[in-house]
Chains A and B, each alone.
Chain A
Amino acid sequence: MTAGTDEVLSFEEAMEKYDPVLGFEVHVELNTRTKMFSSAPNAFGDIPNTNVTPVDLGLPGVLPVVNGVAVESAIKIGLALNCSIAEKCYFARKNYFYPDTPKNFQTSQFEDPIAHDGFLDIELADGTVFRVEIERAHMEEDAGKLTHMGGSTGRIQGAEFSLVDYNRAGVPLIEIVTKPIEGAGSRAPELAKAYVAAIREIVKNLGVSDARMERGNVRCDANVSLRPHGRERFGTRTETKNVNSLRAVEHAVRYEIQRHAAVLDTGTAILQETRHWHEDTRSTTSGRPKSDADDYRYFPEPDLVPVVTNEAWIEKLRAELPEPPAERRKRLQADWGYSDAEFRDVVNAGVMSSIEDTVAAGVSAAVARKWWMGEISRRAKLADVEPAELGVTPELIVELNALIESGKINDKLSRDVLDGVLAGEGTPSEVVEKRGLAVVSDDGPLLEAIDGALAAQPDVADKIRGGKVQAVGAIVGGVMKATRGQADAGRVRELILQRLGVEG
Chain B
Amino acid sequence: MTDLIHLSADVLARKLAAQEVSAVEVTQAHLDRIGAVDGAIHAFLHVNTDEALLVAAEVDKARADGDALHPLAGVPIAVKDLIVTKGQPTTAGSRILEGWQSPYDATVVKKLRAARMPILGKTNLDEFAMGSSTEHSAFGPTRNPWDLDRIPGGSGGGSAAAVAAFEAPLALGTDTGGSIRQPGAVTGTVGVKPTYGGVSRYGAIAMASSLDQIGPVSRTVLDSALLHEVIGGHDPHDSTSLTDPVGALVEAARMGQVEGMRIGVIKELQGEGYQAGVLTRFHESLDLLRSAGAEIVEVSCPNFRYALEAYYLIMPSEASSNLAKYDGVRFGLRVVPDGAPTIERVMGATRAAGFGDEVKRRIILGTYALSAGYYDAYYGSAQKVRTLIQRDFAAAFERADVLISPTAPTTAFKLGEKLDDPLAMYLNDVATIPANMAGVPGLSLPGGLADEDGLPVGIQLLAPARQDARLYRVGAVLEALLEETWGGPLLAKAPAITESAGGK
Contact = CB atoms under 8 A, between A and B. Distances in A.
Nearest to A66: B239
A297 B327 contact: no
Interface stretch (B2-10, B147-155, B199-207, B391-399): B199-207
Contacts of B347: 97
Contact of A297 (B102, B330, B371): B371
Residue of B90, B239, B379 ringed by the most chain A CB atoms within 10 A: B239
Interface in B42-100: 83-84, 90, 92, 97, 100
Residue of B208, B324, B367, B375 ringed by the most chain A CB atoms within 10 A: B324
Interface in A295-321: 295, 297-299, 302-305
A63 B201 contact: yes
A99 B238 CA distance: 25
A129 interface: no
Contacts of A102: 325, 330
A61 B206 contact: yes
A302 B314 CA distance: 11
Interface in A77-125: 93, 95, 97, 99, 102-105
**Chain A: interface secondary structure?**
loop
Contacts of B329: 99, 164
Nearest to A94: B321
A156 interface: yes
B343 interface: yes
Interface residues of B, number: 43
A61 B84 contact: yes
Given A61-B204, A62-B202, A304-B239, A299 B325 contact: no
A95 B204 CA distance: 21
Contacts of B325: 58, 60, 102-104
Nearest to B383: A300
A164 B329 CA distance: 10
Residue of A59, A61, A66 ringed by the most chain B CB atoms within 10 A: A61
Given A60-B90, A61-B205, A104-B324, A302 B210 contact: yes
17 contacts: A54-B102, A58-B330, A59-B330, A60-B84, A60-B90, A61-B90, A61-B202, A61-B206, A62-B203, A65-B238, A95-B320, A97-B324, A102-B330, A298-B370, A298-B375, A299-B318, A304-B240
A59 B324 contact: no
A443 to B, nearest CB: 80
Contact of A59 (B104, B239, B371): B104
Contacts of A295: 371-372
Contacts of A103: 324-325
B254 interface: no
Contact of A65 (B90, B205, B237): B237
B331 interface: yes
B106 interface: yes
Interface string A149-167: 0000000100000101000
A105 B327 CA distance: 12
A1 interface: no
Nearest to A164: B329
Residue of B84, B325, B330, B367 ringed by the most chain A CB atoms within 10 A: B325
B317 interface: yes
A63 B237 contact: yes
A305 B240 contact: yes
Interface string B309-352: 00000000110110011010111000000000001100100000
Residue of B202, B321, B344 ringed by the most chain A CB atoms within 10 A: B321
The 7 lowest CB-CB distance pairs between A and B, nearest first, are A104-B324, A297-B370, A302-B209, A302-B210, A61-B203, A60-B205, A58-B325
Contacts of A162: 343
Interface string B97-121: 1001011101000000000000000
Given A61-B206, A104-B325, A95 B240 contact: no
Interface in B145-196: none
Nearest to B241: A63
B454 interface: no
Contacts of A423: none
Given A97-B347, A99-B329, A61 B324 contact: no
A65 B239 contact: yes
Contact of A93 (B97, B321, B372): B321
A407 interface: no
Interface string A268-293: 00000000000000000000000001
Given A97-B344, A162-B343, 7 more contacts: A57-B331, A60-B102, A61-B102, A61-B204, A156-B343, A297-B371, A298-B375
Nearest to A156: B343
Interface in A130-187: 156, 162, 164
Contact of A105 (B83, B210, B321): B321
A61 B370 contact: no
A104 B351 CA distance: 13
B245 interface: no
Interface in B390-431: none
A61 B201 CA distance: 8
A293 B106 CA distance: 39
Given A54-B103, A97-B347, A102-B330, A63 B324 contact: no
Interface in B190-239: 201-206, 208-210, 236-239
B175 to A, nearest CB: 16
B84 A299 contact: no
A64 interface: yes
Contacts of B379: 299
B209 A303 contact: yes
A13 to B, nearest CB: 39
Contact of B102 (A59, A64, A105): A59
A57 B330 contact: yes
B97 A303 contact: no
A105 B322 CA distance: 9
Contacts of A93: 321
A305 B236 CA distance: 13
Contacts of A303: 206, 209, 239-240
A59 to B, nearest CB: 7
B102 to A, nearest CB: 7
B158 to A, nearest CB: 18
Nearest to B314: A302
A59 B327 CA distance: 11
B318 A302 contact: yes
Interface string A22-62: 00000000000000000000000000000000100111111
A303 B196 CA distance: 12
B317 A54 contact: no
Contacts of B367: 297
Residue of B106, B204, B206, B208 ringed by the most chain A CB atoms within 10 A: B206
A302 B343 CA distance: 28
A61 B343 contact: no
A144 B11 CA distance: 52
A60 to B, nearest CB: 5
